[in-house]
Amino acid sequence: MTSQTTLLVTGGAGFIGGNFVLQQLAANPALRIINLDKLTYAGNLQTLASLRDNPRHVFVQGDICDRELVQKLMREHRPNAVVHFAAESHVDRSIHGPGEFIRTNIDGTFSLLESARAYFAELDESARAAFRFLHVSTDEVYGSLGADDAPFTETTPYAPNSPYSASKAASDHLVRAYHHTYGLPTLTTNCSNNYGPYQFPEKLIPLMIHNALAGKPLPIYGDGMNVRDWLYVEDHCTAIATVLAQGTLGEVYNIGGWNEKPNLEIVRTLCSLLDELAPASQSFANQITYVKDRPGHDRRYAIDARKIERELGWRPKETFETGIRKTVQWYLANREWTNNVVSGEYRQWVALNYR
């Protein structure tokens, strides 16, 4: 980051956005972040508690669809870049309620792009040269891979299979169009499955840790052999900062952890770590149970992250073994954080998906 950089971060109280805000403010003493988050179920101000009195962090509760608010924030704070995390992001929720995904991921991204375009047009030549709009997306836009298929690259055709991935694919296309049509200096990243501290416990890893410690079943969809590429969240945040600083305008960068694992292996690894770090009267693996597979469940995702390594010099620092141990240790040390976010609505959602 250059001196006196200001970022407008959307969704900065969520899992990846919150980790990015914490990491980047700690790493860059001259950085200032305007953090816009709607604080839906997955947004959590507790994640940002350490920044409560930090003058370099300005939190604003608001909606990216509120163009008047976004334009006001841009004109008041004069950001050098927008880093766009804000999204509805869980496949299961998109199956039961796709409307919010269309509104936030498509309409919200469109509204944010329009606000950024208006702001960009007002900048002087030097500020325009420095400005960036970085859109954070997912590998799920590429669809599903067979067991022997090559991993996704930046040129893999889009083939989304869920309302969530379809809405993210649409937002990716909008970002691309605003670069090619209007000259907006955009960058897009497509990441694999993230894990780590502060993840809302609807996703696989924190859900299994929470259920294991609570003595509840560990529900696994289908045969448990759906494969994902796992990326430690702090590595992902470092990659985003690298793309923001060095990425070629208009380009897409795939970010992965080089860790393809089936879901069943992930859960068994978690049980082994919990047996070691928080032993109970019997192995946590005895709580594993299988439930009916979800509709349209993609079989395999895998990211080819050679482009970002080749062009920008980024590689993940954490192996899966080091990252998952850090993650389990964090959740064991921060049970209050998880307990505070597991609301009645969350319990109803778990019952709906895993009954």
Residue 206's Cβ-side half-sphere holds a number of Cα atoms within 13 Å equal to 23
pLDDT tens for each residue of 146-177: 999 999 999 999 999 999 999 999 999 999 99
- Per the structure block, which two tokens stand in for 188? 């897009």
- Per the structure block, which two tokens stand in for 337? 């954080």
Per-residue model confidence (pLDDT) at position 340 = 79
Residue 96's Cβ-side half-sphere holds a number of Cα atoms within 13 Å equal to 12
Q: Please report which helix (H) or strand (E) contains residue 208, including its range.
A: helix 204-213
Give the dihedral sign, CA 116/119/124/126.
negative
Q: What ranges do the domains of the chain cover?
A: 6-198+230-258+300-317
Indicate if 122 belongs to the active site.
no
Indicate if 139 belongs to the active site.
yes
Per-residue model confidence (pLDDT) at position 92 = 64
Indicate if 232 belongs to the active site.
no
Cβ atoms < 10 Å from Cβ of 298:
21
What is the block-wise mean pLDDT of the chain (355 residues), using blocks of 10 residues?
Answer: 81 96 97 95 87 96 97 98 89 76 95 98 97 97 95 97 94 98 98 96 92 96 95 98 98 97 98 98 97 88 97 98 98 90 57 53
Task: Indicate the burial class of 87 (C-beta count within 10 angstroms; 0-12, 13-18, 19 or more).
Answer: buried
Nearest to 233 by CA among 188, 268, 193, 260: 193
* Segment 316-319 long-range contacts (CB within 8 Å, at least 24 positions apart): 316/231, 316/232, 316/235, 316/239, 316/256, 316/257, 316/258, 317/232, 317/234, 317/235, 317/238, 318/232, 318/234, 318/235, 318/257, 319/259
Per-residue model confidence (pLDDT) at position 295 = 84
| DSSP designation for 329 | H
Per-residue model confidence (pLDDT) at position 94 = 66
Q: How far apart are CA 186 and CA 148, in angstroms?
A: 33
Per-residue model confidence (pLDDT) at position 342 = 76
Per-residue model confidence (pLDDT) at position 42 = 75
Superfamily covering domain 6-198+230-258+300-317: NAD(P)-binding Rossmann-like Domain (3.40.50.720)
Backbone dihedral angles phi then psi of residue 38, each to the nearest 5 degrees: -75, -20
- One of 37, 63, 88, 140 is an active-site residue; which one? 140
DSSP string, 289-310: EEEPPPTT---B--B--HHHHH
- One of 92, 139, 172, 229 is an active-site residue; which one? 139
Cβ atoms < 10 Å from Cβ of 331:
25
- CB within 8 A of 284, min separation 6: which ones? 212, 218, 270, 271, 274, 275
pLDDT tens for each residue of 53-96: 999 999 999 999 999 999 999 999 999 999 999 998 666 676 77
- One of 164, 198, 301, 331 is an active-site residue; which one? 164
Is the Cβ–Cβ distance between 52 and 76 less than 8 Å? no
Q: How far apart are CA 254 and CA 303, in angstroms?
A: 7
